[in-house]
Structures are given as structure tokens and as C-alpha cells.
Structure 1
Amino acid sequence: MGINSERDIEANMQIGPTDIGMVRIFIEAGDIEIPMDFDPEEAEEIADEIRAAAQAARSLSD
């Protein structure tokens, strides 16, 4: 399985701050729950990577 492998799986994702100053990405798919906590600097790096990927994907569809 890789980044380009399609799957027919529904998942919910929530992103928000925790009460201890971390950023949590919480993914729920069926019976599986995955909480991932990041310090704010790491979260900003992830946001930058998501923006770069969105820009690259946009250029492929033009």
C-alpha cells in the first residue's frame, strides 16, 4: 500500500488544540481510533507539507 493506492474506507478526522498545548489530529475509521499529538512547531511543519502537496496536486490537474 502506498500513497497512490486507492482504498474504499471512510474515516473522520478532527484537528484541534489539547488542554496541554499540543495539536491533536484524531482519526477514526470504524473501530480504529488514532490520536496523534504534535507540538505547535511540528504542527506548523505538517501544515506546510499539506499546503505544498495541495499546490503540487493542483498543478497536476491544470
Structure 2
Amino acid sequence: MSINTERDLEANLQIGPTDQGMVRLFIFAGELEIPMDFEPQEAKDIAEEILAAVKAAETIKPGS
């Protein structure tokens, strides 16, 4: 499986600061709950990767 493999799975994502000064990504998928904590700099790096992926995705024309 790769990032391009489609799945029929619904999930929710919450993002926020913790009381420990971390950034938490909390993923809910059915019965599964995944808390992922990151140092602020790690969270900034992830945000930059997401923005780079957005930029790349905007250049792709679906179906071509």
C-alpha cells in the first residue's frame, strides 16, 4: 500500500496544544484513538511538509 492507495475509512483529526507545551495531533478512526505529541519545532516542520504537499497537489490535474 502506498499514499495513493484509497481506503474506505472515516477518521477525525483534532490539533491543539497540550498543557506540557507540546502540539498534539489526535486521530479518531472508529474504535482507534491515536494521540501524537510533537515538540513545537517538529510541529512547524510537519506544517511546512503539509504546505509543500498542498502546493504540489495544486499542480496535479486529476484524470490526466
Q: Shorter-normalised TM-score: what interval?
A: over 0.9
Please give the TM-score of this superposition, normalised by the length of structure 1. 0.96
Aligned equivalent of 2:33: 33
CA deviations 1:15-40 (Å, max 9, x no partner) are 00000000000000000000000000
TM-score normalised by length of structure 2: 0.93
- Equivalent residue number for residue 12 of structure 1: 12
Higher helix share: 1
Find out whether 1:3 has 2:3 as its counterpart: yes
Aligned to 1:52: 52
Q: Percent identity, please.
A: 65
Q: Aligned-pair distance for 1:7?
A: 0.4
Q: Give the length in aligned residue pairs.
A: 62
5+ residue gaps, structure 1:
none
Structure 2 residue runs without a partner (length 5+)? none
